[in-house]
Amino acid sequence: MGAMVDAWSWLTTGAHWTGTGGIGQRLGEHVFLTVVCLAVACAIALPVALWLGHIGRGGALAINISNAGRAVPTFAVLVLLTLSPLGRYALWPTLIALILFAIPPLLTNAYVGMREADRDVVEAARGMGMSGGQLLWRVELPLAFALVMTGIRAAAVQVVATATLAALPGGGGLGRIITAGFNTYNTPQVVAGAVLVAVLALAVEAALVLADRALDPMRRRARAVREPEPDTAPVPVGVAS
């Protein structure tokens, strides 16, 4: 328990929040990296996944990319990118790794969501004369919304986690507080940094859960109707890292 008390007093010391390398700067970097990379990853993955889901092709690709993503160690990719010629451009290795690791959960969840949209409903809408675009925007996407959001949440958690790891090869973000504490054998600082990262990760997750509730086009429907079948094993598609 002593470690927690020490970490708390480290956190509440005003001097640790300001200046270069202070909590304020690291938190800013972390949030910046998270927002930018999540947005870019969504812009890349979601249109592809929604289109593939709409035409019903490329399912094996969408699922396999996600499974392969799990096997690749994030830390190794970050170090490899840093040692590659890209490493000369300070932010690029981190940005690229973050975007790469956010794509698999987005792709898989959006694709599965589109495919699991009730076929009868889709056929009925087609029968009513809806065009492909109308079908996608007004029928399939609202039905797939819950799973698309699950993917965005998994990707966001992934980006926050990877941004933490970026500190190991010298990138920015809150992980730097942890690694700096390790290098100076300052355990209170290490624990304080870890608490900050954990709180940020949970806050991002909570914010997205609230956004999901507020934006879900099907929210007025009875929740019970949309409970997943027990045999479609509810496995989190995200990857911790």
Interacting residue ranges for other proteins, rule: CB under 8 A? 2-4, 67, 70-77, 79-80, 82-83, 157, 160-162, 164-165, 167-169, 175, 178-179, 181-182, 187, 190-191, 193-195, 197-198, 201-202, 205, 230-231, 233-236, 238-241
CB of 183 to other proteins, least distance (A): 10
For the CB of residue 113, give the shortest distance to other proteins in the complex, in Å: 19
Give the other-Cβ count within 10 Å of 198's Cβ. Answer: 13
The full 3-state SS of 36-101, as one line of letters, equals: HHHHHHHHHHHHHHHHHHHHCCCHHHHHHHHHHHHHCCHHHHHHHHHHCHHHHCCCHHHHHHHHHH
**Rounded to the nearest 5 degrees, what angle is found at the Cα of 159, between the Cα atoms of 175 and 75?**
60
User: Considering beta carbons, is residue 136 or 159 the nearer one to other proteins?
Assistant: 159
- Nearer Cβ to other proteins (31/125): 31
What is the nearest approach in angstroms of other proteins to the Cβ of residue 88?
A: 12
Query: CB of 82: closest distance to other proteins in angstroms?
Result: 7
User: Based on CB atoms, which residue is closest to other proteins, 20 or 183?
Assistant: 183
Q: Is 22 exposed, middle or buried (0-12, 13-18, 19+ CB in 10 A)?
A: middle
